[in-house]
Every structure is written in structure tokens, then in C-alpha cells.
Amino acid sequence: MRVLVLNGPNLGRLGRRQPEIYGTTTHAELAALCVGWGEPLGLAVDVRQTNHEGVLLDWLNEAADEATPVVLNAAAWTHYSYALLDACAQLSAPLVEVHISDPTQRPEVFRHTSVVTAHAAEVVAGHGIDGYRLALESLARLTRP
């Protein structure tokens, strides 16, 4: 089964951006890990990252059209993008929201709100890069017949 792992703004800078919060794993390393974690679960994982909101919306529209399950780390857009909320609302296959840190534990109050959560089958937060493995395991469980 094909699944999308979609990452929003600044996640392409993983490994360099605030490693004390996001760790030292690069986005390329994360992508390879996700593909590897997906294989034994029977998941063909396609990992993508963008700094452009419209591109992410197009990918979510693609997932809606093809009934493709999604792991989504929308990064900053998580907290305020109503376009993202609307795109997630149209998904028919499961969506698992993932965050490397736990936004509800961050000091910035704006991070405590997610427009994605209402449309997510599950939320995985605060497990570092390993959260993506947990999210893929959730998708595998949620999509089993």
C-alpha cells in the first residue's frame, strides 16, 4: 500500500535547524528511515517536503483523489492554516499527524493549537524522529482490512 509522508516548512533543514529541539537527523536520513520502516509493514512510503503551502495542499488533494493514507507534519502551518484544515477534511484514507517535539509542551502558546488534529485518526508527538515510525505503524494498523 502506498502512503505519503508529507513535511511542511523548514523540515528540509532537519539536522541543522535547532538540533536541541529537532535532533540531528537530516531530512534525507529521515526519508530513508521512513522507507525502511514502511517495508516490513507492507507500505510503499513516498516522503516529500515543501516550504510552499500550495504545494502541500496539492499533495493533500492528490491523496484525497487517490484515497492515499497520509502521515503529516505540517510544521508551522499546523497552527493556523485554514486551507490546510480544509484539505485534511477531504481525506478519506487515514491521516496521522506527527510532530518531532510535543507542540503542547512548547513555551509558545500559538503552538498549542492544531488545525489538523480534528481530521487525524491519531496524533504522534514528542517522540523525535521515531515518531514517524510510530505514525507509519499506526497507518499500517488503521488500513488493515
- Per-residue pLDDT reduced to its tens digit, 115-128: 999 999 999 999 99
Give the residue ranges of the annotated binding site for substrate.
73, 79, 86, 100-101, 111
- Of 27, 52, 80, 99, the active-site residue reads 99
Within the chain, which residues score under 70 in pLDDT?
A: 112
Helices (H), 2-81: 19-22, 27-38, 53-66
127 is annotated as an active-site residue = no
82 is annotated as an active-site residue = no
- Per-residue pLDDT reduced to its tens digit, 87-125: 999 999 999 999 998 878 777 877 768 999 999 999 999
Provide CB contacts within 8 A for 20, sequence distance 6+.
none
Q: What top-level class would CATH report for the domain 2-69+82-100+120-140?
A: alpha beta
* CA–CA separation, 62 and 137 (whole Å): 22
Give the strand pairing for 70-73 and 44-49.
unpaired
